Amino acid sequence: MFKTYVSRDKYLDKIKPFMDKDIIKVIIGQRRVGKSYFQRQIMDFLKNNRDVKDENIIYVNKELHEFETIKTHSDLMKHIASKVKGKKKYYVFVDEVQEIESFEKALESLQASGNFDIYCTGSNSNLLSSELATFLSGRFVEIKIFSLSYDEFLIFHALENNNESFLKYIKYGGMPFLRNLELTDETVYEYLRNIYSTILFKDIVQKYSVRNVNFLERLVEYLADNTGSLVSAKSISDFLKSQKLSISPSVILNYLSHLAGAMFIFKVRRSDIFGKRVFEIREKYYFEDLGLRHSIIGYKHPDIGKILENMVYIHLKINGYTVTVGEFKNTEIDFVAEKGGKRIYVQVAYLLHDKKTVEREYGNLLAINDNYPKYIVSMDEGAGGGEKGIEHVNIRNFLSKQC
């Protein structure tokens, strides 16, 4: 069923408390970030640690030809019924569950019976959240899978933590299957362009009946060029008008929502640091995987600042933070990250190579008069220490930090 895989224990630890509990485990993530292999890891854990037998595991993967006849919730229920013998407990795994019409009805019925421990994956957070919240409110938990963190990238590719390895991570990103390929531009970006096409056409164009595919592609290119810049639907619309392409802000908002729903991009809102107000217009967008971004517009060293910013944002999300762009008077903080009552502030820079850059990065953080941890993250090899309670950290060290 599966080839060999590398364990992703961070996510296994998150899901363990919910195993054998009367709650549906929903594993969400962009296509090809390793959700199927993570399900295999869960199965192996159950067999090795909970004495679960193979015959008590029912697996359905909507991306495999053998399951193409399972199109509706009724088909799914019939398939599961054909596997059940007696009143033993069964463990049901459904991959890409959103491909099954009215899947939520099947999950609700299975959970109500009490004989099934249910795990499913999906690549569309908007669809899953809306349908599950309607039918299974309070009876499911979401586990978000990301592409590989830097530490995972080193493990998957058996690399040392050094500048050469970090450059590979910057250029190629963290899609897990890359461990099976030669890490060259030609090979990697050809593979990633195919993933991008699948996400675009299967998870967005087909799912939402998008008609203006050319505009959708142009929008993605715009977001890639403007990664980490404050944008709005109106500013995008104005830019497109300058390119002789007239698209209303409302249509742009819909397309942005589709891209975010496919977990291809993340929208990051601005917040007033002390007023706790979240602004509804002008936000930043970051990519789930930088390799996919580069496959669209190419890897360009002048973009290094926005690339590093994207990496830090994803690292904070992997570590469970809610992240906003901070604003205080006329000062912007790249990231205000909060988790369990804890808050950290993070500024990201390529290099602190001159006095003006140092004053800007430190000055933004020094303007915040509280005792929460404050970091400046850069590629400076000599990064360390800091001043006035601000810690200057080399980005490789920050990405290895369980903050």
Regarding whether 90 and 228 lie in a shared domain, the answer is no
Regarding whether 300 and 155 lie in a shared domain, the answer is yes
- Take residue 178 and report the two structure tokens written for it: 């890359």
For the chain, the maximum distance between any two Cα atoms, rounded to a whole number of angstroms, is: 74
Regarding whether 170 and 137 lie in a shared domain, the answer is no
Q: Is residue 155 a part of any domain in this protein?
A: yes
Regarding whether 94 and 43 lie in a shared domain, the answer is yes
Q: Is residue 1 a part of any domain in this protein?
A: no
Provide the β-strand partners of residue 137: none
What angle do helix axes 163-172 and 185-198 make, rounded to 10 degrees? Answer: 40
Task: Give 57's contacts (C-beta < 8 A, 6+ positions apart).
Answer: 43, 46, 47, 90, 91, 93
Instruction: Choose the final residue of a domain: 114, 144, 174.
Output: 144
Dihedrals φ, ψ of 374, to 5°?
Answer: -130, 135
Regarding whether 335 and 191 lie in a shared domain, the answer is yes
Regarding whether 310 and 207 lie in a shared domain, the answer is yes
Q: Is residue 184 a part of any domain in this protein?
A: yes
Regarding whether 294 and 209 lie in a shared domain, the answer is yes
Number of domains comprising the chain: 2
pLDDT of residue 129: 76
Regarding whether 185 and 96 lie in a shared domain, the answer is no
Instruction: Choose the final residue of a domain: 144, 172, 197.
Output: 144
Regarding whether 55 and 14 lie in a shared domain, the answer is yes
CATH of the domain at 79: 3.40.50.300
Domain that includes residue 91, residue range: 9-144
Provide the β-strand partners of residue 348: 377
Task: Give 97's contacts (C-beta < 8 A, 6+ positions apart).
Answer: 62, 103, 107, 120, 121, 122, 128
The angle at the Cα of 201, spanning 225 to 73, to the nearest 5 degrees, equals 135
- Take residue 284 and report the two structure tokens written for it: 């930043």
- Take residue 17 and report the two structure tokens written for it: 């408390």
Contacts 24+ apart (CB under 8 A), 45-54: 45/12, 45/16, 46/19, 46/91, 50/19, 50/20, 52/91
Q: Is residue 2 a part of any domain in this protein?
A: no
Q: Quick one: which of 175, 111, 100 has its CA closest to 141? A: 111
Regarding whether 157 and 127 lie in a shared domain, the answer is no
Q: Is residue 4 a part of any domain in this protein?
A: no
pLDDT of residue 115: 94
Tell me how far the alpha carbon of residue 317 is from its chain's centroid: 8
| CA dist., res. 382 & res. 378, Å (int) | 10
Q: How do strand 322-328 and strand 331-339 relate by DSSP bridges?
A: antiparallel
> How many CB atoms sit inside 10 A of residue 203's CB?
23
Regarding whether 207 and 134 lie in a shared domain, the answer is no
pLDDT of residue 94: 97
Instruction: Choose the final residue of a domain: 110, 144, 178.
Output: 144
Regarding whether 155 and 113 lie in a shared domain, the answer is no
Q: Is residue 71 a part of any domain in this protein?
A: yes
Q: Is residue 373 a part of any domain in this protein?
A: yes
Q: Quick one: which of 32, 25, 33 has its CA closest to 8? A: 33
| Tens of pLDDT, residue by residue, the chain (403 residues) | 556 899 999 999 999 999 999 999 999 999 999 999 999 999 999 999 999 999 999 999 999 999 999 999 999 999 999 999 988 999 999 999 999 999 999 999 999 999 999 999 999 887 777 778 777 878 999 999 999 999 999 999 999 999 999 999 999 999 999 999 999 999 999 999 999 999 999 999 999 999 999 999 999 999 999 999 999 999 999 988 888 888 999 999 999 999 999 999 999 999 998 766 777 678 999 999 999 999 999 999 999 999 999 999 999 999 999 999 999 888 899 999 999 999 999 999 999 989 999 999 999 999 998 999 999 999 999 887 777 889 999 999 999 976 6
Cα dist. 385→374, 376, 388, 391, 393 in Å?
12, 10, 10, 6, 8
